[in-house]
Amino acid sequence: MTVTPQKKAVVLLSGGLDSATCAALARQEDYALYALTILYGQRHRIEIEAARRVAAAFDAVDQAVIEIDLRRFGGSALTADIAVPKGRADDVMSTEIPLTYVPARNTIFLSYALAWAEVLGTGDIFIGVNALDYSGYPDCRPEFIEAFERMANLATKTGVEGTAPIRIHTPLLHLTKAQIIRRGLEAGVDYGITHSCYDPTPEGLACGECDSCRLRLKGFAEAGIEDPAPYVPGRRDHS
């Protein structure tokens, strides 16, 4: 009996709902996971504990936790000293680039993933971006992902030598939040160990009011399921 060497994938894993689902789907496709968790001077370091729990739940072969300092550049409520917006109107939330936008965030994240993938000798990178129920960030759009993939194949040894073409996998790209949650539950995600809030309490309770919480709660409501993550009392049903 021969054993096929397992395919390796670098999976960007923040510990949030989307990246946990993305990791589960990569695992379902039988990839060995190399979880890449990037700290970027954000306030919600509680996410990192969530990322470690999710990596363990899906048998990640390795997890790299990388700290990058985007605070030096400023310009975002997630990295600079600007208040996280709460209770934005749904129509504004779907069309306007919000203050929580971090300049070039996914470009930087994918660039690190690319570096690790090349060292591992694989071209497979998973990222849980989503172009439907999202916060209006330009670097979550399909045309950005396609352009990054094209660039990545020109940036690397594997692009020049053709040994392991870079593929940016985005299994959540065209799903609604409710579809992501259902897909994740089928793939064995325990959403109780994930964390999405931009502005949690020091104890790690989700605020229920930031864009990220509201998109998440709306998704669970549409899926007809109660979110098992811990919220500030009375905020789980806020919408």
Chain contacts with a copy of itself (rule: CB under 8 A)? 64, 66-70, 72-75, 97, 101-108, 111-112, 114-116, 118-119, 138-139, 141, 143-144, 147-148, 150-152, 154-157, 159-161
Please report how close the Cβ of residue 76 comes to a copy of itself at its closest, in angstroms: 8
Alpha-helical runs (H) found in 58-141: 90-95, 105-120
Q: How far is the CB of 84 from a copy of itself (least distance, A)?
A: 18
Nearer to a copy of itself, 70 or 223 (CB): 70
Look-up of token digits 């600079």: 80
- The C-alpha torsion from 209 through 198 and 177 to 127, rounded to 10°, is 170
Nearest residue (CB) to a copy of itself, 103 versus 188? 103
Alpha helices in 121-202 (DSSP H): 142-155, 157-161, 177-186
19 vs 153, beta carbon nearer a copy of itself:
153
Residue 13 vs 187, nearer CB to a copy of itself = 13
What minimum distance in Å lies between the beta carbon of 197 and a copy of itself? 24
Beta carbon nearer to a copy of itself, 10 or 180: 10
Strands (E) in 16-143, as ranges, are: 32-39, 62-67, 124-126
Q: Are 127 and 116 in contact (CB under 8 A)?
A: no
Q: List C-alpha distances in Å: 41 to 112, 181, 209.
A: 16, 28, 21
Min dist CB 131 to a copy of itself, Å, is 12
CA 238 to chain centre: 23
CA distances from 87 to 137, 176, 215, 220 (A): 18, 20, 11, 18
CB of 70 to a copy of itself, least distance (A): 6
41 vs 204, beta carbon nearer a copy of itself: 41
| 163 C-beta neighbours (distance < 10 Å), count | 12
Q: How far is the CB of 132 from a copy of itself (least distance, A)?
A: 17
